[in-house]
Amino acid sequence: MNRRLATRSRSITLMASGHGCVDVYQGAVAALVPFFVSERAYTHAAAAGLVLAASLLSSVVQPLFGGLTDRWPMPWLLPVSTLLAGIGVALCGVTDSYPLTLALLALSGIGVAAYHPESARVARALSGGSHTAMSWFSLGGNLGFAAAPLMVGVVVAVGGLGASPLLVVPAVVGSALCLAAVRAVPARRPAGTDATPAPGSDDWASFGKLSGSIVCRSIVFVGLSAFIALYGAERTGGGEDAGTAALFVLYLGGAVGTVLGGTLANRFGRVAVVRWSAAVGVLAVAGVVFVPGPLMLVCVALTSACLYVPFSLSITLGQDYLPRRVGTASGVTLGLTVSVGGIASPFIGLLADHTSLQVALTPLIAFPALSWLLLRTLREPAEA
């Protein structure tokens, strides 16, 4: 038994580490925005278009991959998609063509889309449905997000955008980790994790409310990710270093929030924790927009925690609301609803070009409130 638990822990650790290597490339796109603005003189709207390119195809394609993995196990997708995500970002800095840069970031987004549904299914199989284990799997992705601005800052500060091929290194490492992890996946997965439908009925109404709340959270997170580096530099008066610090705090706070979410859910229940996170998020986002000076970074940290406490909980809730379509649920909660937040970024950028970043970011305050309204009547899957 101890040997089995040790093997499971090792496999979850490998999955979490691989998840981090993939999500580096979700965070890297936002981290590259200030450099595209400074080196290529892109407008805010053009820079936001890069974030959209990385997320739009991902948002459309990810549920399709989820549906495929509901029918056939596809563990080979994990190393292949990891490499694809890295190659797109690694090559985006070596071309001066804006359309080609968009295409490369879209390619990276497809890699991210292909990875997440199957990885969530594999992690569920290896974790036995444990909230804590899934929170550690999610933590890996959040740490990847957090590492992205530091990694991009070092590479691009030293060699400019032309040094972007060095950014492929996490993809190579992540691909190797994924290969090691999938060897531990049982040949026959537990109910609800393989192509055979699990017992129980799908609760599409509750799943729809949950998905709507994730969209709201995604709009806030992607909007802040795209512009917090620029806004942090402007609001604190600390220049690019302060902007990079703000982005790092946004991502690192997400890592802390993810682990905290699993712990709180074991005590208070998933739905209650998700609901209260949305309520507190209203005040936190308002603080990011209006609190001046270094205290803004405290509000960024609180916002990040509120946005990411529900992260792993939303994945398991979605899978429990759709027990017969675990891959589809994972594709939507990890992909479509998260990536669709990128659609709002160009509008934020366009508004910022015509007014100011503060005015453009102010509407984000409303989305945690809307998320709370959607979650207000949501119940735990067992109760529903």
pLDDT of residue 362: 94
pLDDT of residue 3: 63
CA distance 117 to 64: 9
pLDDT of residue 73: 75
Name the pTM for this structure. Answer: 0.70
* Angle made by CA atoms 226, 170, 75, in degrees to the nearest 5: 100
pLDDT of residue 193: 41
Give residue 35's Cα distance to chain centre: 22
Closest CA to 245 of 185, 294, 317, 307: 294
pLDDT of residue 360: 92
pLDDT of residue 382: 66
* Angle made by CA atoms 120, 125, 126, in degrees to the nearest 5: 100
What lies within 8 Å, CB to CB, of 238 at 6+ separation is 232, 245
Beta carbons of 51 and 59 less than 8 angstroms apart: no
CA distance 58 to 51: 11
- Please state the three-class secondary structure of 175-192 as a single string: HHHHHHHHCCCCCCCCCC
Burial profile 43-73: b = 16 or more Cβ within 10 angstroms, e = fewer: ebbbbbbbbbbbbbbbbbbbbbbbebbbeeb
CA distance 322 to 308: 22
Domains of the chain: 2-375 (1.20.1250.20)
CA distance 352 to 346: 10
- Residue 226: strand, helix, or coil: helix
Neighbours of 246 (CB within 10 A): 26
Give residue 166's Cα distance to chain centre: 22
Structure tokens at 132: 């804590």
> Which DSSP helix (H) or strand (E) runs through 323?
none
pLDDT of residue 337: 64
pLDDT of residue 192: 43
Alpha helices (H) along the chain: 2-40, 44-71, 77-91, 98-127, 131-159, 169-182, 204-236, 239-268, 270-290, 295-308, 311-321, 326-331, 337-339, 345-354, 357-361, 366-375
pLDDT truncated to tens, each residue of the chain (384 aa)? 566 666 667 788 888 899 999 989 887 887 888 888 888 878 877 887 887 777 777 767 777 787 787 777 788 889 999 999 999 999 988 888 888 988 898 889 888 888 888 888 888 777 766 667 777 888 888 788 778 888 888 898 888 888 889 999 999 999 999 888 877 665 444 444 444 445 568 899 999 999 999 989 989 988 888 888 888 888 877 677 788 888 888 877 777 887 888 888 888 889 999 999 999 999 999 999 999 888 888 999 999 999 989 888 888 898 889 888 877 887 787 766 666 666 777 788 889 888 888 999 999 999 999 999 999 989 988 644
CA distance 241 to 97: 27
At position 175, the amino acid (one-letter code) is: S
Beta carbons of 99 and 107 less than 8 angstroms apart: no
CA distance 380 to 117: 22
pLDDT of residue 342: 66
* Angle made by CA atoms 299, 305, 309, in degrees to the nearest 5: 155
pLDDT of residue 186: 56
